[in-house]
Amino acid sequence: TTYYGLKNWGGRHFSADDAGFLQVHPLGDHRSIRIHDIVTEAIGKGYKPPLTIRIQDLLRTRVVELNQLFDEAIQDESYGGKYRGVFPIKVNQLREVVEEIRDAGKAFHYGLECGSKPELMIALAMHKDPESLIICNGYKDDEFIRLALFGRKLGKEIYLVVEQLSEVPRIIQISKKLGIKPLIGLRVKLSTMGEGKWASSSGEDAKFGLTSPEIIDATRRIKRAGLTDSLRLVHFHIGSQVPNIQTIKKATVEAARFYCELKKMGFPMELLDVGGGLGIDYDGSRSNYESSMNYTMREYARDVVYNVKTVCADADVEVPDLVTESGRAIVAPHSILVTEVCDRISKKSVPPKKTAASKKQNPVLRDLNAILENEHGSSPLERFHDSQQKREEANNLFNLGYLDLRERAQADAIYWKICEELSNLSKNGSYTPEELESLPAMMADQYVCNFSVFQSLIDHWACDQLFPIAPLQRLNEEPEVDATLVDITCDSEGKVSKFTDVEDVRQTLKLHDLKPKEAYYLGVFLVGAYQDIMGDLHNLFGRVNEVHVFLEDDEEDGFYIEDSIRGFAVSDVLGFTQYDGHILTRRMKKQIDRATKDDEIKPREGTRMLDEYAEFLRGHTYLAT
Ligand code: PLP
């Protein structure tokens, strides 16, 4: 199990049992569920991988943890305000996810954040607890503002956070027209830059937030409109997945300064919203690498509380209630993507064939063989260079017609054999010249997995975001194959060739040899944030099947699948591109009828073809392995 860094990224929630199965501990204690069992049960219900498994209790655990840690920090620091967190719907909008979070957060009056009109419409309808907040970020048109004000009318504590100066006069005008007093927050553009992959949400060039002159302007307009009483919140967000706690401390201090100044200007300030950014330790290295974080949730809570308290004490200003908009940290762990390995592509599978004694060997093959046998006692790097030269020569000879296909195949096979040898040398841990470093990755086998990177792991493709990946079974067997993963899209970008590792990013993942007739499942972990919604339909591979899993109350290792959501059918994705399944079927029928009439196919055969066509339209978009 050391291969998959389970102990590092798995924390209290993922481990391997003695039989080599990966298990999840939704409550972070001894209770566990074998993920392989969930897959088996899902298949039994007709939900085959690729499959998203949502561990609903784990979602709950994270909500409770965040709230408790803030409450603890507040107590320990004798902080005079409360914690009033909100969940940003954008990070995972699925109804069952939002409902679970809302219910888990009920005892803490945990609220919701929205960044667009559709999200606000979700928030308004799903929000129940009048003591919890709704925070509205994002660009706002008049309809957005009206909707938020309707929320005020319904007694909700709903804040319009100004992202752009132009929103101020519109909020004033619409609230006057409707006769509803708004609650207003200002998003400040901090000089503290974020850090990590999503740092561009902050700093001078960020597309959101008000600069300090704009803040002065906004406050003047708000005052002039007689809405002094409405401005109560300061907000900032320096980007998601902040790896370094120092960045968070600095940003909190700067935002707290804005808060204090606004309070001193006479606004009845009461909330400081520190946005999102609380990270997930994807590689388990507990470092300030992009895919990691050098702090814990506890440290985060303490630092926010402590720094706000200190700044306010210095300014002699009463402390605000604290809001966080942590999304990733709440939802990433609960979701697991399961894919089945359906094929293996290996450069090593074809051993170089010896030429028949009777046939004269082409000199280029002789030379390649000599490099393979290292007849000249050359260094690894020299052999690599020589073999590259000879392979190019062989390709040229083939193109000019001096080498036949069999000989070309021999040249390729010998070349790969040389690379394999050199790659093994560089894996031994001895000094490896730079040019040979990429050989292990080049020589790795490709495990073909039944899923689409573009649908299910879009951040891996788009921003090199790393996710931990591990087999769901055989963790008590030593894996021996160096592999990379490729998906089933017709796109060479549809691959995973960067893996989490505590020390460095790895280019290959150690996997087990595939056994005939035994499914080999891989789990991609910590994928509950953003991936679900941002995926696209490249090659028309649609949403995957999904099951929602709960712990059984009275059984140690029991679980049940409460909900299952079928992935997109072929007809669904065709619909998105303006095809109608019925029309396509009719067109097929016309062609089949014609072929039957012309005696090209038998009527029975034609009917069967049409039935199958219609059935596949209702079927899944992924490989029916
Ligand atoms: N708040 C705002 C304004 C955001 O833009 C985002 C996402 O980037 C979040 C909260 C959620 O951030 P995270 O997922 O890092 O907690």
Answer whether 237 contacts ligand 1 (Cβ < 6 A).
Answer: yes
Distances (CA, A) of 610 to 586, 589, 622: 9, 7, 20
Amino acid at 170: R
Amino acid at 5: G
Confidence category of residue 352, pLDDT binned at 50, 70, 90 = low
Answer whether 278 contacts ligand 1 (Cβ < 6 A).
Answer: yes
**Cis ω on the peptide bond leading into residue 130 (within 30° of 0)?**
no
- Distance between Cα 111 and ligand 1 center (Å): 14
CATH code: domain of residue 353: 1.20.58.930
Mutation to probe ligand 1, out of 240, 293, 532 (largest number of atoms < 8 A from CB): 240
**Does 129 share its domain with 239?**
yes
ipTM of the complex: 0.99
Question: How many whole angstroms separate alpha carbon 564 and alpha carbon 43?
Answer: 11
Question: How many whole angstroms separate alpha carbon 602 and alpha carbon 617?
Answer: 23
Structure confidence at residue 386 (pLDDT): 97
Question: How many whole angstroms separate alpha carbon 189 and alpha carbon 511?
Answer: 46
Structure confidence at residue 336 (pLDDT): 98
31 within domain boundaries: no
DSSP string for 100-161: HHHHHTGGGT-EEEE-SHHHHHHHHHH---TTSEEEE-S---HHHHHHHHHHHHTT-EEEEE
Answer whether 279 contacts ligand 1 (Cβ < 6 A).
Answer: no
Of 402, 423, 440, the residue that ends a domain is: 440
Question: How many whole angstroms separate alpha carbon 417 and alpha carbon 513?
Answer: 20
Label residue 153 exposed, middle or buried (CB < 10 Å: 0-12, 13-18, 19+).
Answer: exposed
**Does 605 share its domain with 576?**
yes
Answer whether 243 contacts ligand 1 (Cβ < 6 A).
Answer: no
- Distance between Cα 198 and ligand 1 center (Å): 10
Structure confidence at residue 356 (pLDDT): 64
264 within domain boundaries: yes
Confidence category of residue 419, pLDDT binned at 50, 70, 90 = very high
CATH code: domain of residue 165: 3.20.20.10
- Distance between Cα 236 and ligand 1 center (Å): 10
The minimum-distance atom of ligand 1 relative to the CA of 277 is 15
**Does 213 share its domain with 321?**
yes
464 within domain boundaries: yes
Question: How many whole angstroms separate alpha carbon 237 and alpha carbon 208?
Answer: 9
Is residue 1 over pLDDT 60?
Answer: no
Return mean pLDDT, the chain.
94
The minimum-distance atom of ligand 1 relative to the CA of 187 is 3
Structure confidence at residue 358 (pLDDT): 59
**Does 182 share its domain with 287?**
yes
- Distance between Cα 221 and ligand 1 center (Å): 28
C-beta separation of 116 from 142 below 8 A: no
Question: How many whole angstroms separate alpha carbon 212 and alpha carbon 190?
Answer: 9
Q: Which of 86-90, 189-193, 323-327, 487-491 has the lowest mean pLDDT?
A: 189-193
pLDDT per residue over 466-479, tens digit each? 999 999 999 999 99
Half-sphere exposure of 206 (CA within 13 A, CB side): 26
Is residue 2 over pLDDT 70?
Answer: no
Counting every residue written for the chain, the total comes to: 625
Mutation to probe ligand 1, out of 90, 186, 331 (largest number of atoms < 8 A from CB): 90
* Average pLDDT score over residue span 491-514: 89
* Average pLDDT score over residue span 109-113: 98
Answer whether 331 contacts ligand 1 (Cβ < 6 A).
Answer: no
- What string of H, E and C letters represents the secondary structure of 558-584? CEEEEEEECCCEHHHHHHHCCCCHHHH
pLDDT per residue over 372-413, tens digit each? 999 999 999 999 999 999 999 999 999 999 999 999 999 999
Catalytic residue among 114, 342, 449, 490: 490
**Does 395 share its domain with 413?**
yes
**Does 297 share its domain with 153?**
yes
**Does 392 share its domain with 477?**
no
Confidence category of residue 349, pLDDT binned at 50, 70, 90 = low
C-beta separation of 182 from 152 below 8 A: yes
C-beta separation of 93 from 529 below 8 A: no
**Does 197 share its domain with 278?**
yes
In the three-class reduction of DSSP (H, G, I as helix; E, B as strand; rest coil), residue 256 is classed as helix
Pair type for strands 481-486 and 445-449: parallel
**Does 80 share its domain with 156?**
yes
CATH code: domain of residue 449: 2.40.37.10
Q: Strand order of the sheet with strand 14-16?
A: 14-16, 22-24, 33-34
Map tokens 């591990």 to a residue. 470
In the three-class reduction of DSSP (H, G, I as helix; E, B as strand; rest coil), residue 447 is classed as strand
The minimum-distance atom of ligand 1 relative to the CA of 137 is 3
Task: Of 3, 20, 54, 50, give the one whose Cα is nearest residue 448.
Answer: 50
Structure confidence at residue 454 (pLDDT): 96
Amino acid at 118: P
Structure confidence at residue 546 (pLDDT): 97
**Neighbouring-strand partners of residue 550:** 560
Percent of the chain with pLDDT over 70: 96
Map tokens 């391997």 to a residue. 16
Map tokens 């649908």 to a residue. 455
**Does 536 share its domain with 452?**
yes
**Does 559 share its domain with 585?**
no
Output the CA torsion sign for 251, 532, 332, 462.
negative
Of 270, 296, 326, the residue that ends a domain is: 326
Q: Where are the alpha helices (DSSP H) in 127-194?
A: 142-153, 167-178
C-beta separation of 471 from 523 below 8 A: yes
Task: Of 264, 257, 256, 267, give the one whose Cα is nearest residue 232.
Answer: 267
43 within domain boundaries: no
Confidence category of residue 215, pLDDT binned at 50, 70, 90 = very high
Structure confidence at residue 202 (pLDDT): 67
The token duo for 374 is 């290292």
The token duo for 576 is 């998105």
Confidence category of residue 350, pLDDT binned at 50, 70, 90 = low
Range of the domain at 485: 2-12+15-23+48-52+335-345+445-568
- Distance between Cα 529 and ligand 1 center (Å): 10
pLDDT per residue over 32-54, tens digit each? 999 999 999 999 999 999 999 99
Answer whether 88 contacts ligand 1 (Cβ < 6 A).
Answer: yes
Of 385, 410, 440, the residue that ends a domain is: 440
C-beta separation of 163 from 138 below 8 A: yes
Number of structural domains found in the chain: 4
- Quick check: is 490 catalytic? yes
**Does 513 share its domain with 481?**
yes
Pair type for strands 33-34 and 51-55: unpaired
Answer whether 275 contacts ligand 1 (Cβ < 6 A).
Answer: yes
Half-sphere exposure of 612 (CA within 13 A, CB side): 7
pLDDT per residue over 71-104, tens digit each? 999 999 999 999 999 999 999 999 999 999 999 9
Structure confidence at residue 355 (pLDDT): 63
**Neighbouring-strand partners of residue 150:** none
Confidence category of residue 197, pLDDT binned at 50, 70, 90 = confident
Nearest CA to ligand 1 atom 11: 276
Structure confidence at residue 206 (pLDDT): 74
Largest Cα separation within the chain, whole Å, is: 101
H/E run at residue 337: strand 335-345
* Average pLDDT score over residue span 522-544: 93
